[in-house]
Chains A and B, each alone.
Chain A
Amino acid sequence: MSVDAKVKAPRPAWVQSTIITIASLILAFIVGAIVMVASDAEVAGKWAYFFAQPGDALSASWDKIASTFYAMWVGSMGSWVAITNTTAEAAPLIAAGLGVAVAFRAGLFNIGGQGQAMLGALTAAYIGFTLKGLPIFLHLPLAILVGVIAGGIWGGIVGLLKARTGAHEVILTIMMNYIAGSLLAYLMMQTAFQTPGRTDPISPVLEWTATMPRLDGTRLHLGFFLAILAAVGVWWLLERTKFGVHLKAVGLNPNAAATAGASVPNVTLLTMALAGGLAGLGGVITVTAPDLLTGSPPQMTGTIIGTLGFDAITVALLGRSRPLGVVFAGLLFGALKASRRTMVVMAGTPDKLTDLIQALIVLFVAAPAFVAWLLPFLRERKVKKHEVQSAKVAAA
């Protein structure tokens, strides 16, 4: 019928979400650029006499924005080393992001990636520097396994408490983060975890047998492939196993899932343990990944995890909790992190800009309705009633 042909079919959901995601990225960079210009005293000063000499303000702003974004490109994509920098930064983000994503799919909000990664990093590093003389094919897997299990236990405690008592996982994971932080601060002051002869909280250098093997002269290391492997594993678990079906069912509607035969407490416990294990893997990758110049991993400190647990949340949100999405989101935020150094060196822009852009991206991604309000042309064109009617009339 000619009427149907004229009425535009609605966009498929994935097309709409892709459009919103891309729009969010662009918006985040635009807002980031505005903040960058507005908070630079020198450039902002030129805007004061904008009406006298608009050229000054415009060219200064343009220079600032262009040089910063160019530096970001160079730092993250500009060369083979830069690209491997991106993959190295992305690896822990992908692993920990999967931990948040898999919990999201079961309807659980895992804010505890931070604590879980701390425990993973701490235990893996401990195995890495205390055991000596093991061959690499034993030592490295052992360190990874111990770290993943430690993270899994830290997440599992939350799962157990939630399953047994119904306590909210958001509160539990936040508290567990701080307990992990205090535990880490305490252990790093014990001689067993310190570099011999030093009293500050810094561990000995890990044995090379506990270091991720890397492509020589770059930062492309095994950890990145492990993170990708973890993403494939999570996809397989979610899409090809009975447990995955139960997990997603619990996420969609726990009551219906229970009626259909899924054990909600078991799914909660196992999902949180799995999420903790993945975040633990993120921590392991952070402490066992080799640096570019020295080739050995950074020494374990109280702050080595940085904000991995919270970055992981942004990765999961941007990746819409799908394994493939998490990989792409991890790569994007990894690229942002990789670009920090060149941004400071080449453009003189503070590296915190990447934090700001990252937060803005998820702010927009989390609120598609807001993006659609800001950019009305992205909205689906509503078929107006009178148009349809006039089409009908024409057809008749």
Chain B
Amino acid sequence: MSITPVTASAALINERVESPQTKAQRLSVGVLVTILGAILLFMAFTVNKSGRIALSDALADVQLPTIELPGMPTVLLCSLVVLGAGIGYLTGKINGRARTVLAVAAGLGILVGFLVWAAASSTLPFTLTSQLNLTLEYATPLFFGVLGGVLAERAGVVNIAIEGMFLTAAFTASLTYSVTNSFVAALIAAAIAGLLMAAVLALFTLRYLVDHVIIGVVINLLATGLTGFIFQQLVAKDVSTYGSVTPMLPLRIPVLESIPFLGPILFSLRPLTYMAFIAIPLVWFLLFRTKWGLRVRSVGEHPHAADTVGINVVWTKASAVLLGGLFAGLGGSYFTIGSVGAFQDNNPTAGYGFIALAAVIMGRWHPVLGALVALFFGFCRALAQTTKLMALPIPGDFIEMLPYLATIIAVAGLVGRVRAPAADGAHFVKTH
């Protein structure tokens, strides 16, 4: 034998046997990144001014300098970084940690390149603080929606009823506040409303074995019908009693609020945003560090195995769905008392429940990852809003499409594989 086993295995590592699936994924990521880099390269030649990025908005107490970057060179540099990363992926020579670095570089390149391009294409400076502030505003209900979705789906119940929970809770919160003038009462009422909708989901999927997606669609329709009808019949006839709401104001945290740049972004938020920041790690802890969480995950992956070791499958699933409904209800209250005021009969939740669902899937059914994706979606929506104001050559409607396109790319397995809990959507019938 001329080759020792050690050198044989070393040769194997050098060749990196790649399964067809990972190869296809690597190539599609490479193509995608290369295309984005090429677009950025093209965009680099459409700007000739310098881009101004403001670090504080005009009203802030501490005025920070406005960074001025040369437009063309910066975008060009970013596009070259992105292109390089794309080609790196395509060649397949770069592996392991280097690949992660490459992905991060590509992501940063796209982000910085686009922002500088946006700033350079407009006469107004790009206000980073207000962009980030707006991001958190848009992301807050998504955080709660993600928690609602993650909890239910980890327990194996497909939850496309987040939108319905949002809507019912938004309406209940508005009505309760208008009658009681108490934020606490309104928040509790919203949580209960979300809980009740989740109870419908749990009852029909677990007890009556209705298809999870069907009952989700029906709950959404029920929420639309119920809130729309009661709004028209009760609230619209007596707006001063049932429909007068002053929304929660941003809560400024005394000392921290005056930190330059970070203060206005992180420490003068609406109360519900702080609550979301507490709820996300809480749900992570519950799911991954407690006995209950282990049980929830086990009934979502293999209910029969869980049943065999004595876990009450149906009740565990129900408890996770109900807790999720509670969080979704809190998220729903953000659409009325949390930010804008009284409930209006014009689709106030605007499909946020479905964006939250998308964030659950892209976040691989993990509360923290899901929240990060929600942050990204919030960023996209805020960007669409900001660019509308800046009158950019790229239409805001297209930026608003980004979360949905990103989700399609993710579920189509083009970028990494997203795998749902194994028994997600399956019915459990105790057979013994």
State the A residues within 8 Å of B (CB).
35-36, 39-41, 109, 111, 161, 164-168, 170-172, 174-176, 178-179, 182-183, 185-186, 189, 307, 310, 313-314, 317, 349-353, 355-360, 362-363, 366-367, 369-370, 373
Q: Which residues of A contact B259 (CB under 8 A)?
A: none
Q: In whole angstroms, how far apart are the Cα atoms of A314 and B414 in the complex?
A: 33
CA distance A356 to B230 in the complex (A): 10
A186 touches B358 (CB 8 A): no
Which of A39, A174, A182 meets B397, CB within 8 Å?
A182
Partner of A355, one of B229, B234, B395, B408: B229
B159 to chain A, nearest CB (A): 12
Q: Which of B234-286 contact A (CB under 8 A)?
A: 234, 236-238
* Beta-carbon contact of A310 and B400 below 8 Å: no
User: A165 contacts B228, CB within 8 Å?
Assistant: no
Write the nearest CB–CB distance from B199 to chain A, whole angstroms.
13
21 contacts between A and B (CB under 8 A): A36-B229, A39-B230, A39-B234, A161-B412, A168-B411, A170-B160, A170-B213, A178-B354, A186-B397, A307-B224, A310-B221, A317-B214, A350-B232, A356-B226, A356-B228, A356-B229, A359-B221, A359-B226, A363-B204, A367-B215, A369-B208
**C-alpha gap A365/B237 in the complex (Å):** 33
What is the bound-complex CA distance between A349 and B237, given in angstroms? 11
Q: How far does the alpha carbon of A174 sit from the alpha carbon of B351 in the complex, in Å? A: 10
- In the assembled complex, the Cα of A395 lies from the Cα of B397 at a distance in Å of 78
Number of interface residues of B (CB under 8 A): 48
The residue on A at minimum CB distance from B418 is A167
Q: Give chain A residues whose Cβ lies under 8 Å from the Cβ of B230.
A: 35, 39
- Of all chain A residues, the one with the shortest Cβ separation from B229 is A352
On chain B, the residues within 8 Å of A183 by CB distance are 397, 401
CA distance A131 to B13 in the complex (A): 64
Contacts A175-B408, A355-B224 known; list 12 others, CB within 8 Å: A41-B234, A41-B238, A109-B214, A166-B413, A170-B213, A178-B401, A183-B397, A350-B236, A352-B229, A356-B226, A363-B204, A366-B204
Q: In the complex, what distance in Å separates the CA atom of A355 from the CA atom of B407?
A: 30
Interface centre among B204, B358, B404 (most CB of A within 10 A): B404
- Asked if A355 contacts B225 (CB within 8 A), the reply is yes
Q: Which residue of B lies closest to A344 (CB)?
A: B232
- Rounded to whole angstroms, the CA-CA distance of A165 and B416 in the bound complex is 12
Q: Is the CB of A370 within 8 A of B232?
A: no
Q: How far is the CA of A357 from the CA of B228 in the complex (A)?
A: 12
Q: How far apart are A45's CB and chain B's nearest CB, in angstroms?
A: 12
In the complex the two chains form, what is the Cα distance from A135 to B119 in whole Å? 51
Judged by DSSP, the binding face of A is helix
Closest to A363 in B: B218
Cβ-closest 8 pairs across A and B = A350-B232, A356-B225, A355-B225, A352-B228, A186-B397, A359-B221, A352-B229, A175-B404
Q: Is B361 an interface residue (CB 8 A)?
A: yes
Contact of A356 among B204, B211, B215, B222 (CB under 8 A): B222
A41 to B209, CA, bound (A): 37
B273-301 CB contact bits vs A (8 Å, 1 = yes)? 00000000000000000000000000000
Complex Cα distance, B410 from A167, in Å, reads 9
Task: Say whether A349 contacts B222, CB under 8 Å.
Answer: no
Q: Tell me the complex Cα distance, A41–B207, Å.
A: 35
Alpha-carbon separation in the docked complex, A178 to B238 (Å): 34
Does B372 have its Cβ within 8 Å of any Cβ on chain A?
A: no
Interface centre among A176, A359, A360, A373 (most CB of B within 10 A): A359
Complex CA gap A74/B373 in Å reads 51
Separation in Å of the A337 CB from the closest CB of chain B? Answer: 13
Does B210 count as interface, using CB distance less than 8 angstroms? yes
| Contact (A171, B210) CB under 8 Å given A35-B229, A359-B218 | no
Q: A168-B411, A182-B397 are in contact. Are A40 and B221 (CB under 8 A)?
A: no
User: Which of A176, A356, A360, A369 has the most chain B CB within a 10 Å cutoff?
Assistant: A356
Counting CB contacts under 8 A, is B374 at the interface? no
Shortest beta-carbon distance, B215 to chain A, in Å? Answer: 6
Q: B220 at the A/B interface (Cβ < 8 Å)?
A: yes
Determine whether the beta carbon of A109 is less than 8 Å from that of B397: no
* Contact present for B405 and A362 (CB under 8 Å): no
Which A residues are in CB contact (< 8 Å) with B411? Answer: 167-168, 171-172
- Distance to closest chain B CB from A241 (angstroms): 27
* Across-interface contacts of A367 in B (CB, < 8 A): 204, 208, 210, 215
User: Which residues in A have their C-beta under 8 angstroms from that of B220?
Assistant: 310
Residues of chain A lying within 8 A (CB to CB) of residue B211: 366
From A182, A313, A353, A355, B400 is in contact (CB under 8 Å) with: A182
CA–CA, A4 and B306, complex, Å: 44
- With both chains docked as a complex, state the minimum distance between the C-beta of A171 and any C-beta of chain B, in angstroms: 5
Tell me the smallest distance from the CB of B131 to a CB of chain A, in Å.
Answer: 20
* Cα-based distance from A359 to B236 in the complex (angstroms): 22
| B208 contact set on A, CB distance < 8 A | 367, 369-370, 373
Alpha-carbon distance between A166 and B419 when the two chains are bound, in angstroms: 11
Across the interface, which residues of A come within 8 angstroms of B203, CB to CB? 370
Task: Report the minimum CB–CB distance from A180 to chain B (whole Å).
Answer: 10
Set A111, A171, A179: member contacting B361, Cβ < 8 A: A171
What's the Cα separation between A35 and B414 when bound, in Å? 47
Complex CA gap A192/B178 in Å reads: 45
Interface membership of chain B positions 142-166, coded 1 if the CB is closer than 8 angstroms to chain A and 0 otherwise: 0000000000000000001000000
Nearest CB on A from B260, distance (A): 36
A161 cross-chain contacts in B, Cβ below 8 A? 408, 412
Is the CB of B357 closer than 8 A to any CB of chain A?
yes
Cβ-closest chain B residue relative to A317: B214
Which of the residues A167, A172, A359 comes within 8 Å of B225, measured between beta carbons?
A: A359
Q: Within 8 Å CB of B160, what residues of A?
A: 170, 174
Q: B358 — nearest CB in chain A belongs to which residue?
A: A175
